[in-house]
Amino acid sequence: MAPPQHDEPRTAATVTASRSLVPLPLPPTTEPRPRDPRLSDVDEWGRSERVRELAHRIYQPIYERWFRAEWEGLDRIPSDGGALLVANHAAAIPSDAPVIMHGIETEMGRPVYGLADHFFRRVPGVGTLWARNGGVVAHPDNAYRLLREQGQLVLVFPEGTKGPAKSYAERYRLRRFGRGGFVEIAMRAGVPIVPIAVVGAEESMPTLVRIPALAKLLRTPYFPITANLLAFGPLGAAVYFPAKFKLRVLEPVTFDVPPGQARYSRSRIMEESEGIRQRIQEALYDMLCQRRSVWFG
């Protein structure tokens, strides 16, 4: 197969079309592979199973005793093949991502890669730690490769930073689901979307006020003053309130569209995106109706 010539004029159309050409599958090869003297187990995404295992050991008591996470419908997450997990996002320093990732990894034994804003990659220490624990920059190419070619579980919060940035008064009210990019990726990768509704994260680190000037100065997406900071002082930047976590996995959504296309119908994408948002929102309201106590569930 002749590779595409690189020299067509770069109109908007070719640029978008070339996006889809991204991953070229390689024919299976039986040739001897060159020697690969690796020393660490860090994979191409920056994840290390050794680090992850250590993190599991440290996080297990927090997961089990502090948040007392409780799952409902975990069997709806496919036990093999790629799937895009989509959840609501909350808490000033989001506590939901570690709970979901830890929960699925320990209870199902499958790795979960968490997509996050590229902001994390810029933060010294945090960025590396996040990558070693399965964090990946939320880029369509990254998601496509993980889902389509490697058949992994990928967690994404379509609200983006708008979720954790919202104040306590707006808790459990979902923000806009981006521009529906997550639906498009799932369609292109040919994987189901598994919506997850999370209750508890909002109360684990509620934002009282935001200081936009500081956020601008520090070049962070937002700068919150949390109830934790008032309660525990500086320690509050790291200590969560022991809110009871409940997670409900909803029925997976599949799309009967051919995978691997450059573009998908925008109206269909927005429709599906809004539908998933609705379902998570309704599940949240339902779970909140049944909740008697923030701390005991």
Partner 1 sequence: MGRRVLVTGLGTFWGGRLAQRLEADPGVDVIIGLDRVDPMVKLERTEFVRSDENYSILSRIVSATRVDTIVHSFLVVDSTQMSSRTLHEINVIGTMNLFAAASSPASTVRDVVVKSSALVYGASSKDPVWVTEDHSRRTTPRTAVERSLVEVEGYVRDFAVDNPHVTVSMLRFSNVIGPDISTPITKALELPLVPSIAGFDPRIQFVHEDDVLRSMMFVLDEQVPGVFNVAGDGLLPWSEVAALCGKRRLPLPFIGDRMAAGSLRRLGVDLPPELLDLLRYGRGIDSRRLRQTGFRYEYTSAGAVEAFVKAERLRASIGGREPAYEYRDDVEAFFKHSPAVVRDRGR
Residues lying near partner 1 in the complex (CB under 8 A) are found at 1-7, 9-10, 15, 18-19, 21-24, 26-27, 31, 33-40, 42, 44-46, 118-119, 121-128, 136-137, 139-142, 145
User: Nearest distance from residue 295's CB to partner 1, in Å?
Assistant: 35
CA-nearest of 277, 285, 239, 234 to 89 is 277
User: Nearest distance from residue 177's CB to partner 1, in Å?
Assistant: 21
* Residue 136 β-bridge partners: 115
What's the distance, CA 15 to chain centroid?
27
Tell me whether residue 7 or residue 75 sits nearer to partner 1 (CB atom). Answer: 7
Spatial separation of the C-alpha atoms in residues 38 and 50, rounded to whole Å? 15
Tell me whether residue 42 or residue 270 sits nearer to partner 1 (CB atom). Answer: 42
User: Nearest distance from residue 155's CB to partner 1, in Å?
Assistant: 16
Spatial separation of the C-alpha atoms in residues 257 and 271, rounded to whole Å? 14
Those residues with Cβ within 8 angstroms of residue 94's Cβ, 6 or more apart along the chain or in another chain: 157, 163, 164, 201
> Which ranges in the chain belong to alpha helices (H)?
12-20, 49-61, 96-108, 119-122, 126-132, 140-144, 162-165, 181-189, 201-204, 212-218, 227-232, 266-290
Tell me whether residue 142 or residue 281 sits nearer to partner 1 (CB atom). Answer: 142
User: Nearest distance from residue 256's CB to partner 1, in Å?
Assistant: 28
Tell me whether residue 31 or residue 256 sits nearer to partner 1 (CB atom). Answer: 31
Those residues with Cβ within 8 angstroms of residue 16's Cβ, 6 or more apart along the chain or in another chain: 262, 263
User: Nearest distance from residue 230's CB to partner 1, in Å?
Assistant: 29
Tell me whether residue 42 or residue 225 sits nearer to partner 1 (CB atom). Answer: 42
Retrieve residue 240's tokens. 């969560």
User: Nearest distance from residue 17's CB to partner 1, in Å?
Assistant: 9
Tell me whether residue 118 or residue 266 sits nearer to partner 1 (CB atom). Answer: 118
